[in-house]
Homo-oligomer: A and B are copies of this chain.
Amino acid sequence: MKPTPEILQRLKDAVGPKGFVDGESDMAPYLAERRELYRGRAAAVVRPASVGEVSAVMRIAHEAGVHVVPQGGNTGLVGGQVPDESGEEIVLSLSRMNAVRGIDVENNTLTVDAGVTLAAAQEAAREADRLFPLSLASEGSCQIGGNLSTNAGGTQVLRYGNARDLVLGLEVVMANGDVWDGLTGLRKDNTGYDLKQIFLGSEGTLGIITGAVLKLFPRPLSVETAFAAVPGVEAAVKLLRVADGLSGGQVSTFELVPRIGVEFVTRHIEGASDPLADQYPWYVLIEMTAGMEDARLAETMEAALAEGLDQGLVSDAALARSETQRADFWRLREALSDVQRAEGGSIKHDVSVPVSKMADFIARASEAVSARLPGVRVVAFGHIGDGNVHFNLSQPVGMDRAAFLALWGEMNAIVHGIVREMGGSISAEHGVGRLKRDEIAATKSPVEMAAMRALKQALDPKGILNPGKVL
């Protein structure tokens, strides 16, 4: 329900004047996501500075039945962090809870407030000669709390796992304001249900993450990067297994890049060039890391590529011989999202299938979208090692941009239909939020939906936490 003036005053008292925002223009940055795809309204934005203040806010909201939308760095892509249009919800921003609480070098753990940015967490690890491996495009502004609530992915999942895998403990404020202190730094604890798992990835619908104990890793001292041409997606997957086997799990990045992606990047980005003399249909960016400076990692990379050549999995390859060259190789992967803009409208899909079905998926989905719209340009790229591909479509050359974008829903239906037939996921990284809520409800099994609703009912019986998101 809409908070009364009295409730708003109680909320203001709970967080203090610095933590309470209700002017239209002051609230504006919290009410829309950056691409303006989602814009809502709110009765107020509260910015608690401590777990005690978060708890106080939730006790008031719970008593009054006020809906609360938790928000981190506001970088989510599915509208999960944006309030609805009613103006009755309050946004709870974690951004003032931004302290690094502590680092335990011998335990390889870092304890942080939820509002610490990902970049700040990485930096705290680096200062202690450790690695916090989560790495995302938005790392300068996204926050740990948001990363964990959405189980963020990124470019190092292959080696270190998703955000869920990088957490040992959580502090969570429950819907009724109770605080669960689960900030353990333990690697093994079988004393009952692993509660943290329930809050990780649940997009703020079951509780509000206010703090976390994160896993740290040895900082790699050697890095080798290669850009390899492969005859096809299936060969790329086989090459991954060769590289993974030979290196004993030292492959940290294995990213697919299509020929059209190299063309887009070299066309639109000054100084970008194709590292290989000839043209090939597909490429992979491979990175291996090791702990020793003289770990002869280059030999391992070369051995993997040589084996790939022998088995017909590699057509040509270049090894980065300098940091500049390494950056050049990475740019061919990292610029792919941006350069699509220069080629007109694009329709995006963030999907996964079993790694073994990746080639088949890309072939089938490419054929299906081309049958619907001849001339559509498939730009399929990304985390092939995780079975996760950004199956993006650039508009046919010369087509009207708006007419192309009007096909968004239809193209989604075609691609997601194939994903489902292959046992895949229609949201590999980005979550459900508002964007995919209806599609999830329509396509998951009734048993799974019933279990999800039972969990929601168990932990948030009044339904005040991020309503209308996920389920």
A residues near B (Cβ < 8 Å) are 104-109, 150-151, 153, 157, 162, 164-165, 174, 178-182, 184-195, 197-198, 200-202, 206, 217-222, 237-238, 241, 244-250, 289-292, 295-296, 300, 303, 352-357, 383, 386-388, 423-432, 436, 440, 444-445, 447-448, 450-452, 454-455, 457-459, 470-471
Contact = CB atoms under 8 A, between A and B. Distances in A.
B193 A452 contact: yes
Contacts of A247: 290-292
B249 A291 contact: yes
A185 B354 CA distance: 6
The 9 closest A-B pairs by CB, nearest first: A248-B291, A197-B197, A458-B458, A106-B356, A189-B425, A248-B290, A218-B245, A107-B356, A454-B458
A81 to B, nearest CB: 14
A57 to B, nearest CB: 17
Contacts of A445: 180-181
A455 B180 CA distance: 15
A441 to B, nearest CB: 9
A29 to B, nearest CB: 25
B180 A109 contact: no
Contacts of A217: 249
Nearest to A461: B454
A454 B198 CA distance: 12
Nearest to A164: B194
A386 B357 CA distance: 35
A427 B186 CA distance: 11
Given A106-B241, A454-B458, A184 B423 contact: yes
Chief secondary structure at chain A's binding surface: loop
B387 A106 contact: no
26 contacts: A104-B354, A104-B356, A105-B241, A106-B241, A157-B188, A180-B451, A184-B425, A186-B423, A187-B352, A188-B388, A188-B429, A189-B427, A190-B431, A191-B426, A192-B470, A193-B202, A194-B197, A197-B198, A218-B245, A247-B291, A247-B292, A248-B295, A249-B291, A296-B296, A454-B459, A457-B458
A106 B174 contact: no
Given A244-B291, A451-B459, A193 B201 contact: yes
Contact of A444 (B153, B192, B292, B459): B192
Nearest to A244: B218
Given A290-B248, A295-B248, A427-B190, A180 B447 contact: yes
A130 to B, nearest CB: 9
Interface centre among A165, A185, A470 (most CB of B within 10 A): A185
A451 B188 contact: no
Contacts of A452: 192-193, 195
A464 B61 CA distance: 35
Contacts of A165: 165
Nearest to A248: B291
Interface centre among A192, A245, A289 (most CB of B within 10 A): A192
A101 B7 CA distance: 57
A136 to B, nearest CB: 13
Given A107-B354, A451-B459, A425 B195 contact: no
Interface centre among A186, A430, A452 (most CB of B within 10 A): A186
B218 A248 contact: yes
A382 B427 CA distance: 41
Contact of A455 (B157, B193, B218, B440): B193
A386 B187 contact: yes
B423 A185 contact: yes
B194 A201 contact: yes
Contacts of A245: 218-219, 221, 291
A354 B291 CA distance: 23
Contacts of A303: 292
